[in-house]
A and B are shown apart, each in its own frame.
Chain A
Amino acid sequence: MKYLTQLAVIFGLCLVGDVISALLPFSFPGSVVSMLLVLVLLSTKLLKEQALGESADFMLRNMTFFFIPPGVSIIRYMDIINSIWWQLLLVNIVSVITCFAAASWTVVLVGRMQKALAGRRHA
């Protein structure tokens, strides 16, 4: 019964997320609305971690499993992939490098600015 209740809570929150997403004036994935909703409910203690419990952990631990069906569908698009395979590789690898550089340099920069500000405050 416990697992069914947890699943009902999770599915219910997803449905609420979909409703909110449909009401928004711009398009925003319902599943991400649900994620933000769960985060807000947890942070405000309106929802307890145990309410999602083992069912949520089961999904998180086995997340990869849920991507097998869309992964298998890749073979239906092999002709597209074959025609652009090197472009696909290039875009992916270049963006990994630019994204890493931008993210890590920003962290270093913001950290330094915070230190400088704190230093000035103390002086």
Chain B
Amino acid sequence: MLEILSSPLFGIALSIVAFRIGMWVNKKLKTPLANPLIIAMLLVVGFLSAFGIPVEVYEEGSSFILMFLAPVTAVLALTIYRQRKTLMGSFLPVLLGTLAGAVAALATVRISCDLLGLDRTILASLLSKSVTTPVAIALTEQFGGIPALTIASTIITGLAGNLLAPVLPKVFGITDPVAHGVGIGACSHALGTSKALEIGEIEGAMSSISISLSAIWTVLLAPLFF
């Protein structure tokens, strides 16, 4: 029985059903806390434990899905390309803003990991967590971290960014919508960007451009903080 379940067909089918339910619940509840990824993960874990299926069996089958992380990252280029006109309008501020954001995130993670006495495997898994998940996982693997911890952190970071997005500009005295959008995209990737899109058109566009730019800066600079 377990042999059949370790086939990609089982892993993929279970993941798709869980994802569809997650998306449906998210649409119904309309809160970032009902995150489709969290719901789908809980459903898969619940299903596996209810039927006594070891998680390793699911992992064997679902490794087929993981193969798509590289293509997903590659096509992210389209999101920058499609926004080239908006980007060109404020090229330098956005380029340098995402650079500063990447340095701040990397430095904060490094310093707080040192202060809290977390070991290097944890640091390797957390350094990249501000950027979009496929790139974050690639960086974690490069540093020898645990991708699952990175996923957990990108979700926490994204949710924090999503919930704090409306408050942070008031705290830091930001009134410029471009600065607001870049801040959200740099610190909390797509999960924060979904909030930025609700706040305004400029905020949303700037936030989504910043996702990919921050990812590039972070990949370039992360080795300096490891």
Contact = CB atoms under 8 A, between A and B. Distances in A.
Interface of A: 7, 10-11, 13-14, 17-18, 26-32, 34-39, 42-43, 49, 52, 56-57, 59-60, 62-77, 80-81, 84, 87-108, 110-111, 114
A88 B103 contact: no
B219 A32 contact: yes
A72 B44 contact: yes
Please classify the interface of chain B as helix (H, G, I), strand (E, B), loop, or mixed, using the class held by over half of its residues: helix
Contact of A88 (B41, B81, B108, B152): B152
Given A30-B70, A34-B70, A87-B118, A99 B93 contact: no
19 contacts: A42-B77, A56-B75, A59-B72, A59-B75, A69-B11, A70-B151, A71-B41, A72-B62, A77-B146, A87-B116, A91-B126, A92-B160, A94-B112, A100-B186, A101-B168, A102-B186, A104-B179, A105-B172, A107-B96
Contact of A38 (B68, B77, B129, B178): B77
Interface string B50-85: 000001001100110110111111111111111010
Interface of B: 11, 15-16, 18-19, 36-38, 40-41, 44-45, 48, 55, 58-59, 62-63, 65-66, 68-82, 84, 90, 92-94, 96-105, 107-109, 112-113, 116, 118, 122, 126, 129-130, 133-135, 137-139, 141-142, 146-153, 155-157, 160-161, 164, 168-169, 172, 174, 176, 178-180, 182-184, 186-188, 190, 210, 212, 214-216, 219, 223
Given A70-B151, A71-B151, A96 B142 contact: no
A60 B100 contact: no
B66 to A, nearest CB: 6
A93 B155 CA distance: 11
A104 B142 contact: no
A17 B63 CA distance: 21
Contacts of A106: 93, 96-97, 99-101
B121 to A, nearest CB: 9
A52 B40 contact: no
Contacts of A89: 156
A100 B76 CA distance: 22
